[in-house]
Amino acid sequence: MTADGKERAKWAAAEGALNYVENGMRVGLGTGSTAEKFVELLGRRCRERNWQVICVPTSEATRAQAERLGLALDEAYPDFRSLDIVVDGADEIDGKGNLTKGGGGALLREKYVASAAGRMIVIVDEAKHVERLGSTFRIPVEIVAFAWSNTIGRLERLADKVELRKRGDQVFVTDQGNYIADCTFSSITDPAELHRQLKNLLGVVETGIFSGLAKVCVTGHADGSFSIQEF
Ligand code: 5RP
């Protein structure tokens, strides 16, 4: 897919997801370049139709964008309870709706928001569809900063390769003040089980494996169309 085609596909997925939002809903806002497009379109729709939606963003970047667009945040934010839906991107999606997330480092807040939402709508372009998680993208694991190399040692007993995420020559720090370990696995046959094993390790805060959370996937295509898959 060309870069232009990819952009069109992301806009198309964002457009398709807009059909799931209604006036008055409580909406979780994802993070990343595809989710950013959805937030843009949602802001426009709320302005044009005078809609009132209550939003919970999954990162500081998305919070800043939502505020810029005049979208209302939950008055208890950063606390919140239930949401009607969340619309978020993904790094990979398999045929059962399992996801790899965390490319943007927002996986912890993304998981809170997805878990609180009645329906998770995933927006991706075609390239994100995989047979098995971990085949095109490493599994991000959020770990506490304290004794991080200790935690990486434990992760190395499960993964083929583990790398502390950096931005330039600085360690990448999440919105929660944690680090990210990007883990390579040769073959992931049971994503939910791998998530459980990783979560059991001391120092692991959350994993980028999202199992059983996605209810709908809107896939954008390079020609500007989108298709829907339900789980
Ligand atoms: C951020 C995420 C993103 O949703 C994921 O990385 C996809 O991003 P993009 O839409 O830019 O490809 O999980 O933590």
- The CATH number given to whatever domain includes residue 11 is 3.40.50.1360
Same domain, 39 and 119: yes
Whether 32 is in the pocket of ligand 1, judged by its Cβ within 6 Å, is yes
Residues linked to residue 184 through DSSP beta bridges, in sequence order: 161
pLDDT band for position 59 (50/70/90)? very high
Active-site residues: which are they?
A: 110
Same domain, 56 and 105: yes
Structure tokens belonging to residue 180: 């990210």
Ligand 1 centre from 168 Cα, in Å? 19
Whether 220 is in the pocket of ligand 1, judged by its Cβ within 6 Å, is no
pLDDT tens for residues 126-146? Answer: 999 999 999 999 999 999 999
- Nearest atom, ligand 1, residue 89 CA: 4
Whether 31 is in the pocket of ligand 1, judged by its Cβ within 6 Å, is yes
Same domain, 116 and 198: no
* 20 phi-psi bin (left φ>0, alpha ψ -120 to 50, beta other): alpha
pTM, entire model: 0.96
Burial of 173 (0-12, 13-18, 19+ CB in 10 A): middle
Same domain, 113 and 148: no
Q: In a mutational test of the pocket of ligand 1, which residue from 1, 8, 34, 182 has the highest number of ligand atoms less than 8 Å from its CB?
A: 34
Answer whether 108's CB lies under 8 Å from 205's CB. yes
Answer whether 54's CB lies under 8 Å from 72's CB. yes
Range of the domain at 111: 3-129+211-223
Same domain, 144 and 187: yes
